[in-house]
């Protein structure tokens, strides 16, 4: 058409599309969740912008998502009266991979062997492009709220797309219409009951009502009421409803490991709907360490870019709906707000206490949470002094004597040996290698349990945590470990630390030879089989941390 230009997709989009087009993934239904969630996002963005600019609402009516089936044209249309897109926004949003989750997905794909692909698609949302699982052409016509021009975008998903101006008469009065030309083998998505059931199952709770038209000239019928799930009483919400809300909010495809839904009353009033995911979100170790909690004010979506939870809880997904913040609060002001500070404190405490309850009520499930997110929670041990004790209580460890079991620090304290002065830990990259380290011989000979710390963050937090409930926490490489007071296990070979003359002579020789390179050379109780090992000064930084800092160029 005149005024239309043809553009190529970004290389990563082309790869993703190729996957979608040739998808062998059986759960193609998810495309509808993605399109409905985009339509709902667009309505929520409009609600927010209209607080400052009410004129934006003049054309287009109350927020609504309309699905229309046209059996003779073999099309399924998802239309919203939300914020809409300009031509430039279309090129940006529908030609590149903007969202970090999708980017992470692509990176993961590059690592996975062929064949793992369809499994991965099943694990999390891939957004708009999933439309090409069921459509061999997708047309998008949009009018930005308040604008009098319209734009169109079209693609067969095979490498290029076209964009250009559209006749405003053909565009929605406000918002976006996405038309799917349904593939031959996806005809099931032209059946009204399939669409209705899929929407109910996947998107029943989105905060915008949904209507279905079974033919272009049919009367629209409401199939979802748009009542925000979190405003309903818990007794009216099923586990499936929660799982559905979790999948949409978190972009995950599994079940939540922990669900929090409560209303805080008192000084500040707010509702929380939050989930600890059942598996690791793909952006968990992004350098920004950003969370994804959404902030609403009286059911109006405000932002998902404010820090509602500390970064070491960034895996928690969901929303907070505040009754106290002013609706017209600017996004910049929010971060500074005292109300938000109170919310952050309250929600953080609640997440920690609910995890604490889970350790009691379902230790296996909690072990799964720790396996997925322990390394992130430990960042809190390092940077959040106020939460240190609570986090240490939640922490789980593999140890030299615990086998495959996850041990809490309480468990370890309960099993301390008579005369044992401290809780001991060893930091390294590999548990098996650590266990074989000569540093641990003296501990093993006395049956002392040693924490095996193999996460990158372990070298850091251990330097910040001096003790647990009065018991000092010490690295096995830090100075002499006072092992003399702990009796040897039966059958263990005693290592004599008595400075017999031969040993003294040898020590003098070592000191002379090594000179400035060592602070001291000592006989030790810690070794049983090995002849020597290196230890750090009592006050010296843990050796592993030294290495980490050195590799970070400090
Ligand atoms: P995400 O929704 O996670 O950002 P998507 O791939 O689903 O990723 O969508 C990409 C972008 O396209 C959105 O961020 C948005 O800017 C734009 N978009 C998609 N659908 C719509 C719509 N119905 N109305 C307005 N913008 C949309
Ligand atoms: Mg989306």
> Ligand 2 centroid vs 230 CA: distance in angstroms?
20
Report the pLDDT value the prediction gives residue 3, as an integer from 0 to 100: 82
Index of the ligand 1 atom closest to the CA of residue 80: 23
CB 275 within 8 A of CB 316: yes
Q: What are phi and psi of 217, to 5 degrees?
A: -100, 10
Count CB atoms within 10 A of the CB of residue 490: 6
Question: Which residue, judged by its Cα, is nearest atom 5 of ligand 1?
Answer: 127
Report the pLDDT value the prediction gives residue 327, as an integer from 0 to 100: 76
Q: Is 258 in the pocket of ligand 1 (CB under 6 A)?
A: no
> Ligand 1 centroid vs 152 CA: distance in angstroms?
15
The residues, ordered by sequence, that sit 6+ positions from 287 with a Cβ below 8 Å of its Cβ are none
Report the pLDDT value the prediction gives residue 104, as an integer from 0 to 100: 63
How is residue 56 annotated by DSSP? G
d(CA 95, CA 142): 15
**Alpha helix locations (H) across 153-277?**
192-203, 239-250
Tokens 């070979």 correspond to 493
For residue 49, count CB atoms less than 10 angstroms from its CB and return exposed for 0-12, middle for 13-18, buried for 19 or more: middle
CA 283 to mean position of chain CA atoms: 6
Residue 152, beta-bridge partner list: 141, 164
The CA distances from residue 68 to 65, 151, 218, 406, 447, in Å, are: 10, 20, 9, 53, 70
Q: Which structure tokens are listed for 159? A: 């490498």
**Alpha helix locations (H) across 267-362?**
331-336, 338-361
Please count the CA atoms within 13 angstroms of the CA of 517 that sit on its side-chain side: 6
Q: What is the pLDDT along the chain (554 residues), one digit of tens a residue?
A: 678 999 999 887 887 788 777 765 567 888 998 899 899 999 999 998 998 899 999 888 899 999 999 999 999 999 999 999 999 999 988 987 755 556 666 666 655 545 444 445 444 456 898 899 999 999 999 999 999 999 999 999 998 999 999 999 999 999 999 999 999 999 999 999 999 999 988 887 788 999 999 999 999 999 998 888 999 999 999 999 999 899 888 878 889 999 999 999 988 999 999 999 999 887 787 777 888 899 998 888 888 888 999 999 999 999 999 998 887 777 777 878 899 999 999 999 999 999 999 999 999 999 999 999 999 999 999 999 999 999 999 999 999 999 899 999 999 999 999 889 899 999 998 888 888 888 888 898 889 999 999 998 998 899 889 899 899 999 988 745 567 778 887 776 655 555 566 777 777 787 787 777 777 777 666 666 666 666 665 545 555 555 555 554 43
Q: Using alpha carbons only, what angle is made at residue 20 by residues 15 and 22, rounded to the nearest 5 degrees?
A: 95
Q: What does the pLDDT look like over 117-138, one tens digit per residue?
A: 444 544 445 689 889 999 999 9
d(CA 206, CA 248): 9
Q: Which structure tokens are listed for 261? A: 């839904």
The CA distances from residue 360 to 278, 354, 355, 369, 546, in Å, are: 18, 10, 9, 13, 37
Tell which residue, 65, 76, 41, 39, has the closest CA to residue 179.
Answer: 76
Count CB atoms within 10 A of the CB of residue 482: 14
Three-state SS at 212: strand
Report the pLDDT value the prediction gives residue 302, as an integer from 0 to 100: 85
> Ligand 1 centroid vs 126 CA: distance in angstroms?
11
> Ligand 2 centroid vs 40 CA: distance in angstroms?
9
Region label for 419, one of left (φ > 0), alpha (ψ between -120 and 50) or beta (otherwise): left
d(CA 45, CA 301): 7
Q: If you count them, how many residues does the chain have?
A: 554
Parallel, antiparallel or unpaired: strands 150-155 and 160-166: antiparallel
Looking at all shown ligands, the one closest to residue 45's CA atom is 1
Report the pLDDT value the prediction gives residue 131, as an integer from 0 to 100: 93
Give me the torsion for CA of 478, 479, 481, 484, rounded to 10°. Answer: 170
CB 452 within 8 A of CB 397: yes
Question: Which residue, judged by its Cα, is nearest atom 17 of ligand 1?
Answer: 93
Q: Is 462 in the pocket of ligand 1 (CB under 6 A)?
A: no
Question: Which residue, judged by its Cα, is nearest atom 9 of ligand 1?
Answer: 128
Which of 17, 41, 130, 131 maximizes ligand 1 atoms within 8 Å of its Cβ, making it the mutation to test the pocket? 41
Question: Which residue, judged by its Cα, is nearest atom 1 of ligand 1?
Answer: 127
Question: Which residue, judged by its Cα, is nearest atom 27 of ligand 1?
Answer: 38
d(CA 349, CA 125): 30
Q: What are phi and psi of 175, to 5 degrees?
A: 105, -160
Q: What does the pLDDT look like over 452-496, one tens digit per residue?
A: 999 989 988 998 898 998 999 999 887 455 677 788 877 766 555
Which of 20, 32, 93, 100 maximizes ligand 1 atoms within 8 Å of its Cβ, making it the mutation to test the pocket? 93
Looking at all shown ligands, the one closest to residue 175's CA atom is 1
Index of the ligand 1 atom closest to the CA of residue 89: 16
d(CA 142, CA 152): 6
Question: Which residue, judged by its Cα, is nearest atom 12 of ligand 1?
Answer: 93
For residue 393, count CB atoms less than 10 angstroms from its CB and return exposed for 0-12, middle for 13-18, buried for 19 or more: middle
Q: Is 44 in the pocket of ligand 1 (CB under 6 A)?
A: no
d(CA 76, CA 213): 10
> Ligand 2 centroid vs 539 CA: distance in angstroms?
52
Index of the ligand 1 atom closest to the CA of residue 37: 2
Q: In what order do the strands lie in the sheet with 258-264?
A: 258-264, 270-276, 317-322, 294-297, 300-303
> Ligand 2 centroid vs 42 CA: distance in angstroms?
10
Q: Which structure tokens are listed for 469? A: 């409930």
Report the pLDDT value the prediction gives residue 124, as an integer from 0 to 100: 46
Index of the ligand 1 atom closest to the CA of residue 101: 3
Q: Is 82 in the pocket of ligand 1 (CB under 6 A)?
A: yes
Q: Is 85 in the pocket of ligand 1 (CB under 6 A)?
A: yes
Q: Is 93 in the pocket of ligand 1 (CB under 6 A)?
A: yes
Question: Which residue, judged by its Cα, is nearest atom 19 of ligand 1?
Answer: 38
d(CA 206, CA 228): 6
CB 334 within 8 A of CB 325: yes
Q: What are phi and psi of 403, to 5 degrees?
A: 65, -135
Q: Is 310 in the pocket of ligand 1 (CB under 6 A)?
A: no
Report the pLDDT value the prediction gives residue 366, as an integer from 0 to 100: 98
Binding region for ATP: 34, 38, 80, 85, 100-101, 123-128, 176, 331
The residues, ordered by sequence, that sit 6+ positions from 80 with a Cβ below 8 Å of its Cβ are 39, 40, 42, 43, 63, 64, 65, 66, 172, 175, 176, 208
How is residue 81 annotated by DSSP? -
Tokens 């999390």 correspond to 124
Q: Is 79 in the pocket of ligand 1 (CB under 6 A)?
A: no
Tell which residue, 26, 9, 30, has the closest CA to residue 158.
Answer: 9
């Amino acid at each position: 058409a005149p005024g239309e230009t043809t553009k190529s997709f970004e290389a990563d989009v082309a790869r993703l599309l190729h996957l979608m087009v040739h998808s062998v993934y059986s759960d193609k239904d998810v495309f509808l969740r993605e399109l409905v969630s985009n339509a709902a996002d667009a309505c929520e963005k409009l609600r927010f912008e209209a607080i400052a600019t009410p004129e934006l609402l003049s054309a287009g009516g109350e927020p609504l998502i309309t699905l229309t089936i046209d059996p003779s044209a073999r099309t399924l249309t998802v239309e919203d009266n939300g914020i809409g897109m300009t031509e430039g926004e279309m090129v940006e949003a529908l030609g590149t991979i903007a969202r970090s989750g999708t980017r992470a997905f692509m990176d993961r794909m590059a690592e996975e062997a062929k064949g793992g692909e369809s499994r991965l698609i099943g694990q999390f949302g891939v957004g708009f492009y999933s439309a090409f699982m069921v459509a061999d052409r997708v047309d998008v016509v949009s009018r930005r709220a308040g604008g009098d021009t319209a734009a169109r975008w079209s693609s067969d998903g095979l490498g290029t797309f076209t964009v250009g101006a559209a006749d405003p008469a053909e565009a929605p009065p406000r918002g976006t219409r996405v038309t799917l030309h349904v593939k031959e083998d996806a005809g099931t998505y032209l059946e009204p009951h399939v669409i209705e059931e899929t929407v109910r199952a996947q998107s029943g709770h989105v905060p915008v009502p949904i209507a279905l038209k079974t033919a272009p000239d049919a009367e629209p019928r409401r199939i979802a009421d748009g009542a925000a799930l979190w405003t309903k009483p818990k007794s009216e919400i099923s586990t499936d409803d929660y799982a559905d809300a979790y999948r949409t909010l978190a972009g995950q495809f599994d079940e939540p490991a922990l669900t929090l839904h409560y209303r805080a009353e008192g000084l500040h009033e707010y509702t929380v709907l939050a989930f600890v995911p059942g598996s690791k979100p793909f952006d968990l170790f992004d350098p920004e360490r950003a969370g994804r909690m959404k902030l609403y004010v009286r059911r109006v979506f405000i932002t998902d870019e404010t820090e509602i939870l500390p970064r070491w809880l960034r895996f928690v997904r969901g929303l907070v709906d505040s009754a106290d913040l002013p609706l017209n609060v600017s996004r910049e002001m929010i971060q500074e707000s005292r109300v938000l500070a109170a919310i952050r404190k309250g929600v953080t405490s609640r997440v920690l206490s609910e995890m604490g309850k889970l350790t009691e009520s379902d230790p296996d499930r909690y072990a799964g949470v720790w396996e997925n997110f322990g390394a992130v929670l430990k960042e809190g041990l390092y940077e959040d002094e106020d939460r240190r004790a609570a986090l240490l209580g939640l922490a789980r460890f593999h140890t030299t004597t615990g086998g495959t079991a996850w041990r809490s620090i309480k468990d370890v304290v309960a099993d301390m040996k008579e005369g044992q002065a401290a809780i001991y830990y060893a930091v390294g990259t590999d548990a098996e290698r650590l266990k074989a380290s000569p540093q641990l011989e003296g501990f093993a000979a006395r049956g002392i349990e040693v924490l095996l710390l193999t996460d990158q963050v372990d070298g850091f937090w251990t330097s910040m945590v001096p003790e647990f409930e009065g018991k000092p926490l010490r690295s096995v490489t830090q100075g002499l470990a006072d092992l003399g007071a702990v009796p040897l296990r039966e059958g263990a070979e005693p290592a004599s630390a008595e400075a017999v003359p031969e040993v003294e002579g040898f020590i003098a020789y070592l000191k002379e030879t090594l000179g400035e390179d060592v602070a001291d050379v000592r006989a030790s109780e810690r070794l049983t089989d090995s002849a020597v090992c290196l230890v750090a000064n009592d006050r010296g930084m843990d050796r592993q941390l030294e290495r980490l800092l050195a590799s970070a160029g400090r």
